[in-house]
Structure 1
Amino acid sequence: MSSTVFIITSILISLLAFALAGWLYAWVKAQPSSNPRILEISGYIRQGATTFLNKEYSVLARFCGVAAILIFIFLPIPIWKGSVLMNLQMAAAYIFGTIFSAIAGKIGIMVATIANVKTAEAAQKGIRLSFLCGFRGGAVMGMAVVGASLLGVSLVFWLTGDTTTLLGFSFGASSLALFAKAGGGIFTKTADISADLAGKVELGIPEDDPRNPAVIADNVGDNVGDVAGMGADLFDSNVASMAAALVMGAALDQNIGGSKNVAMVFCYAAMGLLASIIGVATARMGKNDNPTFALNSSTYVTTAVFGVLTAAGTALFGMEWRIWGASIVGLLVGVIIGIASDYFTDDRRNPVRKTARASESGPAFTILSGMSYGFLSTLPALAGIGISALISYKLCEPLGSDYALFGISMAAVGMLSIVGMIISNDAYGPIVDNARGLAEMGDLGDEVLDITDSLDSAGNTVKAVTKGFAIGAAGLTVIALLGAFISEVNVAAAEAGLVAAGEKYLNGFDVMNPEVFFGMLVGAAIPAVFSAMLMLGVNRNAQRMVEEIHRQFREIVGLKEGKKGVVPEYDRCIEIATHGAIHELIPAGLMSIIATLAVGFIGGVTAIGGFLVGNIVSGLLLALFMSNTGGLWDNSKKYVESGNHGGKGSEAHKAAVIGDTVGDPFKDTAGPSINTQITVVSLVSSLMSSLFLMFSLL
């Protein structure tokens, strides 16, 4: 079974995804929009988002340029010991990965800042058309991101046939995603926190009141954080899962001859994208006009289509049914993790309602209640990741010991198989959130606000599910990358003559080995330090913006009263958020990479094994806790605002807003960024494995 056929098929399906994205973009753009006030405000949002992204990418281009030079000199082995061409190929693949990741974010911003206007104005004609504008706008990004990731992996593997070079491509995607997610998260939460504290808590004005100088920056933040940042995050996870599976699949094929395992990876990844194309193309709102049901139904349809397509492919091409089973286990667990996240963040469930009730007693009880439920929410997801890894390992173990870890990597591929639909649902969230703000600022009336509120509520619920899914997918992916690291070490050890051909230098990691334990403790601390650095960045930036909001209300005559013709200086708040995010985004990511290099060169590959295990376990726990806790506080606030426990302006509302303010950097800055952080350190470890093997102190 030749892998070339499946690589070409993957490329063709990627091009089909781009074609659908183009059609959806044209459809959204063709929807009417004529309200001058909304067009003016959306222009501010588009300009702010584009300016931030351009400045962020210019900084990251310099960072990536330096990284590419270092990769050329040192990887896969130092240039003076190996091949100049091989090192050049690795550096080119890294740059290729950063460019693809950047394009994914740029496409997302481009369509989201058009779809928000169309969604707001379409709400005047009813909820169904408005829903379609929001969903199809998000689906442009879903199709483009997954199409780009599958196309990039296919081209790199087809042109080079080298899995280590593929890891370089994945590292390029991951490193840019890490900084894009961190920078976007800092921007969006700086604006969100400042707008809420100065507007809702201090002045008691509505969420999207145009008098608030931070309101445009808040809407810009939805795009740069939740659209560009999350798109880069899931692009990175999808590429990393395929790269890890291909590293192990290629090693297995080398042992048995042929290319059936590599072919299976491309077959399943292509079928996943095809299933997402079908799911997106058929998504509609049913007769009950429930947007949450419509979004979830599309996800379930995509899941079922993937199961049928891969089963047909497995039967038709004589692939291993046990590996198909591992992929389906990963997919089902991804859905279950999403459902668990939904339980702890949906305002129809007890955790959110009990936290809202606790807000009547003050913000301390809001914080205590939310954190308690947040900690509880980590068990189902972590157990789900562990169970899926265990089942897929045991399911594939009878095929041979090396197939067990390959089974875990295919479970990760299976979980991310419907990522096109997941990104579509996720990007829908900030689009309808923006649309709700535009409807209020454009004074489109209460009926339109009710429709956009309904769409926004569905977006918040589904966003919590997609964040849980993304973290679960990252968990399985990095477990697969741990297997890829072991594989890379064993290849490097054999080439260096440390073991005989066919023997293994590493089989696993003994926790009682002091080098492994040293690495594990350091690795467990990194996600906490990384999160602290990002949230301190938000804290510093938000304080500067709150001072600016106070200055404007104090100095601009008539602004607080809302006098006609008096407009706040929106650009000052956008400038503060942009400058602060650019300043803060590099240190946290660099710290993670430098810590990995330090542990590797001190303790060698055994210490790095422990480092990765500690980083994975600690990172997943913190990511799930922060994501779910932040989502819970956000929806508790919205539950109070809908008229419960005193409604807007009550003491419970003020307490709930404070809870949401604490939760904002949890769920939209630190939590989602940890996904990418653990992927980046895993890829750095695999790429540097031969250097750690040769040059460690211990």
Structure 2
Amino acid sequence: MFMVVFAAIIFLFLGSIEGFSTKGQPCTYSTGTCKPALYTALFSTASFLLGAITSLVSGFLGMKIATYANARTTLEARKGVGKAFITAFRSGAVMGFLLSSSGLVVLYITINVFKVYYGDDWEGLFESITGYGLGGSSMALFGRVGGGIYTKAADVGADLVGKVERNIPEDDPRNPAVIADNVGDNVGDIAGMGSDLFGSYAESSCAALVVASISSFGINHDFTAMCYPLLVSSVGIIVCLLTTLFATDFFEIKAASEIEPALKKQLIISTALMTIGVAVISWLALPAKFTIFNFGAQGLFFCVAVGLWAGLIIGFVTEYYTSNAYSPVQDVADSCRTGAATNVIFGLALGYKSVIIPIFAIAVSIYVSFSIAAMYGIAMAALGMLSTMATGLAIDAYGPISDNAGGIAEMAGMSHRIRERTDALDAAGNTTAAIGKGFAIGSAALVSLALFGAFVSRAGVKVVDVLSPKVFIGLIVGAMLPYWFSAMTMKSVGSAALKMVEEVRRQFNTIPGLMEGTAKPDYATCVKISTDASIKEMIPPGALVMLTPLIVGTLFGVETLSGVLAGALVSGVQIAISASNTGGAWDNAKKYIERPATASTRGPLAPRVQTATRPL
């Protein structure tokens, strides 16, 4: 419904303008510098729908693959943790390659098809292609918000009643919300994260292509050089394919302690190989000299490389703050000795502190890339951060697959040894999921800045003066928007979780024999609660994001809107990193505490929180 309505709005808005000038001149059809508004609107709308459909299909297929992989990972865990790891990781890799390659192929085909009409009008061609990024990112908004509401409502409802009130194990089949919880892992962490990274990839590609079209590349009709952003992404897919072999074929996982280092090596190897690949592509594809930038091919290589290595730094910082192998998460776990209040305090402090280094990494990449190639450099830095997207998605999707494998082992009444192995996979998966979010947030910050620069130049705003009352008001309002958005989504999760808790309690109290394991719970009702809540509750936050620029720009002008966009960008990055890392740290602190008392590296509170064994 959203796609159809918003596509109609795009078509009407673009179709209503008089024409489209490709050389910055007055729009007169006699000079041949215009394209009919109807065709411009048609192509932009088509690219929007293509981006949205590609994002949806990628998320859907990713969930299908993850669903098939859940049970297979559980069965492989009988043979050892190494076999289970390979199955989960390969399944995540399929998701990563599917999304990155489909996004690239559809974008490349769209460019070549549109080129039949636009010919050598590069600016008009790539202006119409920008709809592709908008389509991908708009679907990412709903996938992320809707998926997050779905999974967290089910997770909270299942744990509060099952683990806390009824003292039964996590993922126990007697818990009515256990199926909704497992489904939610796929919806939020597979489809949501995939569409999120796809949106960032599509927008950064489109931003780079638009800027390239008005550079010397476009003037000289150098199609290969203009498609440099797509070549970078293509090399990234090949590099990630080689990198995957290191985890699945070249080295073998023999113990649970080797899982996290293996995933960490994936980031390092892919970044190192990608640096070499970008150097080769820059040397082969770019001309020796071009006028719009301060440097030649080596300059654009540095733009991509600085974004690539900034992403690696963000990944390692995220891993440090969310892995239970390091002191920050262990401190959060230890704070539970004195109650929930100190746990909350330590968790929030960890999240705020974890923002520092990623922000410096993003700041350095912005300064270097902008100094070399202005907004084009920033867009290329964002693409550099996303160039190893296939590997990032592989280690991210691996987490929910491992989590659900543990759930299946519990529900099937399999040996506790299998559950220990899947829990070891899941603990590493929580960290890698947080790493994936770090990449998504960092790249989104760079992409947003590039798009902000494109907006300012297109809108004719020469300087965004923060001392201007209009701009300053916009900054304050813009900085408030991420808090408003977060409040809406958190309240939505709370409302859905409240209904879930009440339903689970009702079933435990009214279904005879449920606790004894002789009666089957009503899983479908809990699934329906999460589904209805995610679809209904994601509309207001989505409307806030989509309508704010339209309303502010219409009522208060482009200066105020510039301030709103800048404020939202700066504020949103801080909230996103801190909230993501706080959540990851709490989740792994729980795993650290709940380690079995028989394990050699058991958590400090393991004996005090052991859950009851259900009757078989």
Fold-level similarity (TM above 0.5): yes
- Tell me whether 1:634 sits opposite 2:597 in the alignment: no
Select which of 169, 175, 195 maps to 2:132. 169
- Please say if residues 225 and 285 of structure 2, whose CA atoms lie closer than 8 Å, have aligned partners that are also in contact: no
- Between the aligned partners of 2:19 and 2:219, the Cα distance in structure 1 is 33
Match of 1:378 in 2: 355
Q: Residue 387 of structure 2: SS of its match in structure 1?
A: helix
- Between the aligned partners of 2:89 and 2:254, the Cα distance in structure 1 is 17
User: Which residue type is aligned with residue 313 of structure 1?
Assistant: I
**Gap regions ≥5 residues in structure 2:** 21-35, 116-124, 288-296, 596-601, 612-616
RMSD: 1.9
Select which of 28, 35, 46 maps to 1:92. 46
- Between the aligned partners of 2:273 and 2:331, the Cα distance in structure 1 is 38
**Structure 1's 534 and 84: CA in aligned 2 closer, same or farther, altered over 3 A?**
same
User: Which residue type is aligned with residue 340 of structure 1?
Assistant: V
Q: Residue 124 of structure 1: SS of its match in structure 2?
A: coil
Give the deviation of 1:291 after TM superposition.
Answer: 1.7
Select which of 233, 237, 261 maps to 1:273. 237
- Between the aligned partners of 2:552 and 2:285, the Cα distance in structure 1 is 44
Give the deviation of 1:340 after TM superposition.
Answer: 0.8
User: Which residue type is aligned with residue 647 of structure 1?
Assistant: A
- Between the aligned partners of 1:472 and 1:257, the Cα distance in structure 2 is 33
Match of 1:545 in 2: 500
User: Which residue type is aligned with residue 646 of structure 1?
Assistant: L
Match of 2:422 in 1: 452
- Deviation string 1:304-353 (CA, Å, 9 cap, x unpaired) is 22111121222234551011011111000101011111111111211111
- Between the aligned partners of 1:572 and 1:591, the Cα distance in structure 2 is 30
- Tell me whether 1:421 sits opposite 2:360 in the alignment: no
- Please say if residues 76 and 164 of structure 1, whose CA atoms lie closer than 8 Å, have aligned partners that are also in contact: no
- Please say if residues 170 and 239 of structure 1, whose CA atoms lie closer than 8 Å, have aligned partners that are also in contact: yes
- Between the aligned partners of 1:649 and 1:204, the Cα distance in structure 2 is 13
- Deviation string 1:134-162 (CA, Å, 9 cap, x unpaired) is 11111111011001111122122223352
- Between the aligned partners of 2:284 and 2:545, the Cα distance in structure 1 is 45
Select which of 544, 562, 570 maps to 2:523. 570
Match of 1:112 in 2: 66
User: Which residue type is aligned with residue 179 of structure 2?
Assistant: I
Greater mean deviation of Cα atoms: 168-177 or 263-272: 263-272
Q: Residue 170 of structure 2: SS of its match in structure 1?
A: coil
Match of 1:129 in 2: 83
User: Which residue type is aligned with residue 176 of structure 2?
Assistant: P
Select which of 528, 534, 540 maps to 1:581. 534
- Tell me whether 1:188 sits opposite 2:151 in the alignment: yes
Select which of 467, 474, 488 maps to 1:512. 467
Q: How does 1:286-305 map to 2 (within 5 A)?
A: 286=252, 288-289=254-255, 290-305=258-273
Give the deviation of 1:508 after TM superposition.
Answer: 3.7
- Between the aligned partners of 2:82 and 2:326, the Cα distance in structure 1 is 26
- Between the aligned partners of 2:582 and 2:604, the Cα distance in structure 1 is 20
User: Which residue type is aligned with residue 413 of structure 2?
Assistant: D
Match of 2:205 in 1: 242
- Between the aligned partners of 1:407 and 1:261, the Cα distance in structure 2 is 14
User: Which residue type is aligned with residue 69 of structure 1?
Assistant: A
**Structure 1's 362 and 113: CA in aligned 2 closer, same or farther, altered over 3 A?**
same
- Please say if residues 209 and 227 of structure 2, whose CA atoms lie closer than 8 Å, have aligned partners that are also in contact: no
- Give structure 1 regions of 4+ aligned residues with deviation exceeding 6 angstroms: none
Select which of 432, 446, 459 maps to 2:402. 432
Q: Residue 88 of structure 2: SS of its match in structure 1?
A: helix
- Between the aligned partners of 2:18 and 2:430, the Cα distance in structure 1 is 50
Give the deviation of 1:602 after TM superposition.
Answer: 2.3
Give the deviation of 1:629 after TM superposition.
Answer: 0.7
Match of 1:37 in 2: none
Match of 1:350 in 2: 327
- Tell me whether 1:338 sits opposite 2:315 in the alignment: yes
**Structure 1's 379 and 294: CA in aligned 2 closer, same or farther, altered over 3 A?**
same
- Please say if residues 360 and 645 of structure 1, whose CA atoms lie closer than 8 Å, have aligned partners that are also in contact: no
- Between the aligned partners of 1:102 and 1:108, the Cα distance in structure 2 is 10
User: Which residue type is aligned with residue 543 of structure 1?
Assistant: L
- Between the aligned partners of 1:581 and 1:317, the Cα distance in structure 2 is 45
- Between the aligned partners of 1:553 and 1:317, the Cα distance in structure 2 is 65
Give the deviation of 1:287 after TM superposition.
Answer: 5.3
**Structure 1's 644 and 130: CA in aligned 2 closer, same or farther, altered over 3 A?**
closer
Q: Residue 644 of structure 1: SS of its match in structure 2?
A: coil
- Between the aligned partners of 1:116 and 1:591, the Cα distance in structure 2 is 36
Q: Residue 391 of structure 2: SS of its match in structure 1?
A: helix
- Between the aligned partners of 2:374 and 2:453, the Cα distance in structure 1 is 10
- Between the aligned partners of 1:249 and 1:562, the Cα distance in structure 2 is 64
- Tell me whether 1:556 sits opposite 2:483 in the alignment: no
**Gap regions ≥5 residues in structure 1:** 1-61, 397-402, 490-504, 654-698
Q: How does 1:648-687 map to 2 (within 5 A)?
A: 649-650=608-609
- Between the aligned partners of 1:450 and 1:637, the Cα distance in structure 2 is 14
Give the deviation of 1:545 after TM superposition.
Answer: 0.8
Match of 1:360 in 2: 337
Q: Residue 199 of structure 1: SS of its match in structure 2?
A: helix
**Structure 1's 429 and 650: CA in aligned 2 closer, same or farther, altered over 3 A?**
closer
- Between the aligned partners of 2:498 and 2:269, the Cα distance in structure 1 is 45
Match of 1:644 in 2: 603
- Please say if residues 217 and 226 of structure 2, whose CA atoms lie closer than 8 Å, have aligned partners that are also in contact: no
User: Which residue type is aligned with residue 552 of structure 1?
Assistant: Q
Match of 1:218 in 2: 181
- Deviation string 1:181-232 (CA, Å, 9 cap, x unpaired) is 1111100000000111111111221111111111111000000110111111
User: Which residue type is aligned with residue 230 of structure 2?
Assistant: F
- Between the aligned partners of 1:526 and 1:76, the Cα distance in structure 2 is 31
- Please say if residues 141 and 424 of structure 1, whose CA atoms lie closer than 8 Å, have aligned partners that are also in contact: yes
- Tell me whether 1:614 sits opposite 2:567 in the alignment: yes
Select which of 523, 527, 533 maps to 2:488. 533
- Deviation string 1:230-281 (CA, Å, 9 cap, x unpaired) is 1111111111111111111112136753336523222212111221222224
Match of 2:274 in 1: 306
- Between the aligned partners of 1:418 and 1:196, the Cα distance in structure 2 is 35
User: Which residue type is aligned with residue 390 of structure 1?
Assistant: Y
- Between the aligned partners of 2:314 and 2:441, the Cα distance in structure 1 is 9
- Please say if residues 204 and 649 of structure 1, whose CA atoms lie closer than 8 Å, have aligned partners that are also in contact: no
User: Which residue type is aligned with residue 531 of structure 2?
Assistant: T
User: Which residue type is aligned with residue 559 of structure 1?
Assistant: L
- Between the aligned partners of 1:312 and 1:169, the Cα distance in structure 2 is 28
- Between the aligned partners of 2:569 and 2:489, the Cα distance in structure 1 is 19
- Deviation string 1:348-402 (CA, Å, 9 cap, x unpaired) is 21111111111111111111111111111111111111111012222x1xxxxxx
User: Which residue type is aligned with residue 409 of structure 2?
Assistant: A
- Between the aligned partners of 2:218 and 2:429, the Cα distance in structure 1 is 48
- Between the aligned partners of 2:469 and 2:344, the Cα distance in structure 1 is 39
- Tell me whether 1:599 sits opposite 2:552 in the alignment: yes
- Between the aligned partners of 1:276 and 1:287, the Cα distance in structure 2 is 19
Seq. identity, %: 40
Match of 1:283 in 2: 247
User: Which residue type is aligned with residue 262 of structure 2?
Assistant: A
- Between the aligned partners of 1:235 and 1:616, the Cα distance in structure 2 is 19
User: Which residue type is aligned with residue 389 of structure 1?
Assistant: I
- Please say if residues 73 and 79 of structure 1, whose CA atoms lie closer than 8 Å, have aligned partners that are also in contact: no
Match of 2:436 in 1: 466
Greater mean deviation of Cα atoms: 577-586 or 255-264: 255-264
- Between the aligned partners of 2:19 and 2:281, the Cα distance in structure 1 is 46
Greater mean deviation of Cα atoms: 295-304 or 76-85: 76-85
Q: Would you tell me which structure has more helix in proportion to its own residues?
A: 1
Q: Residue 283 of structure 1: SS of its match in structure 2?
A: helix
**Structure 1's 462 and 322: CA in aligned 2 closer, same or farther, altered over 3 A?**
same
**Structure 1's 287 and 84: CA in aligned 2 closer, same or farther, altered over 3 A?**
closer
Q: Residue 84 of structure 1: SS of its match in structure 2?
A: helix
User: Which residue type is aligned with residue 542 of structure 2?
Assistant: G
